[in-house]
Amino acid sequence: MTTEELLQWADDIVFTHTEKHLDSVQTAILEGAWQGLKYEEIAKKCHRSKSHIKNIAAELWQTLSELLGENIQKANARSVLERKAISNIYNYGSSSQIITSNINSHISICPENRQYPEDARNRSPSNSNSPSSQNQPTIIDLTEAPELTDYYPRPTEESTLKQWILEDGMRLVTLYGLSGIGKSALTVKLIQDIQTEFDYIIWRSLGNPPPFSTLQTELYQFFSQSQPNPCATLIEYLRSFRCLIILDDVQNLFKSGEIAGQYLAEYEEYGKFFKQLAT
């Protein structure tokens, strides 16, 4: 892990909890600790007094210790932060890239298809076959979802997503950003909080995307397995029941080096499906 990656990760963690980015002095202290510099050397680079640097450092180590649940001092800062960062990336993404952007800026919706609350309440009409109408528990398949460990709370993003999905009736929501920022973890946490609001929840990874026809068949079988009188099509299930479908790694459907939203030829049917969901 490079110094830049560590600093970006630490800044993101601090901002998530305090809504404040690391300032230049705090960044210099972290960089100096990574390089094994003494406080006196860090002070000279920052044009500050040694005592001032030590005071700021003490506050920084205390903040990081509270956020990461482990005692952090200058002597062990590099080893602890690197271990925590790598663990975070391993659990939430396959890439070692980390970005400073807060995930709140990487959530988007389809505003042209926005529903108002009264529309949302009527979107999934009562159905005699519905598990909810029979007081049956939500049917969930999270076999392809990552395990939620070392989750760093994102109350603002969690609240926004709940508002959009449960109250505003958004039909299509995307979370995007480089691997390691915590998109999948946020989604798993969201499912834990709102699962009782749905009849069906299924998570599918598109790390190695199947043809859309394969995914369509898989989704239909998942929805129909508990129904004595199956619906005729996948879309009918989505109209008749409250269904939450999570598709991870959607970026694998698109062409690289092209204008955003250009699907690979073999995955163009996915684009048609997303438009159908939104409308």
Tell me if 113 is assigned to some domain: yes
**Do 222 and 243 share a domain, yes or no?**
yes
Question: For tokens 């949302």, what's the residue?
Answer: 120
pLDDT on residue 77: 86
**Do 149 and 18 share a domain, yes or no?**
no
Tell me if 178 is assigned to some domain: yes
Alpha helices in 93-211 (DSSP H): 117-123, 155-162, 183-194
Pairwise CA distance, residues 158 & 175, whole Å: 12
User: What does the buried/exposed string (b/e) look like for 41-64 if buried means 16 or more CB atoms within 10 Å of the residue's CB?
Assistant: ebbeebebeeeebeebbeebbebb
Tell me if 98 is assigned to some domain: no
pLDDT on residue 127: 45
Prediction pTM value: 0.55
What digits encode the pLDDT tens for the residues 26-78?
999 998 988 889 999 999 988 889 999 999 999 999 999 888 888 899 888 88
Other residues' Cβ atoms within 10 Å of the Cβ of residue 209: 19
Pairwise CA distance, residues 251 & 226, whole Å: 31
Domains in the chain: how many in total?
2
Pairwise CA distance, residues 269 & 213, whole Å: 8
Pairwise CA distance, residues 262 & 36, whole Å: 46
Which residue range(s) make up the domain with 62? 3-92
Other residues' Cβ atoms within 10 Å of the Cβ of residue 237: 22
